[in-house]
Copies of this chain bind each other. A is one copy, B any other.
Amino acid sequence: MTFVDQSIKILKKNKYKITGPRMAVLNVLEEAKIPLSAYDIEEHVPEHIPINVVTIYRVLDVFETLNIIHKVHTKEGYVRCDFELQKGCHSFAICNKCGRADEFLQEKCDLKSTLPKKLAYKSLSHISELSGLCEQCA
Query: A-side interface residues toward B, CB under 8 Å?
Result: 73-74, 91, 93, 95-96, 102, 104-112, 114-116, 119-135, 138
A129 to B106, CA, bound (A): 15
Copies held by the complex: 2
Rounded to whole Å, the gap between the CB of A68 and the closest CB of chain B is 19
Are A129 and B131 also in contact (CB < 8 A) when A110-B110, A119-B102, A119-B104 are? no
Residues A115 and B93 in contact, CB atoms below 8 Å apart: yes
Closest to A95 in B: B121
A120 to B130, CA, bound (A): 13
Residues B133 and A121 in contact, CB atoms below 8 Å apart: yes
Residues A138 and B120 in contact, CB atoms below 8 Å apart: yes
Closest to A130 in B: B126
Residues B95 and A106 in contact, CB atoms below 8 Å apart: no
A116 to B119, CA, bound (A): 31
Partner of A116, one of B104, B110, B129: B104
For A95, A116, A130, A134, the residue with the greatest tally of chain B CB atoms inside 10 Å of its CB is A130
A130 to B73, CA, bound (A): 13
Residues A132 and B128 in contact, CB atoms below 8 Å apart: no
Residues B114 and A108 in contact, CB atoms below 8 Å apart: yes
Residues A111 and B123 in contact, CB atoms below 8 Å apart: no
Taking CB atoms, residues of chain B closer than 8 Å to A109 are 114
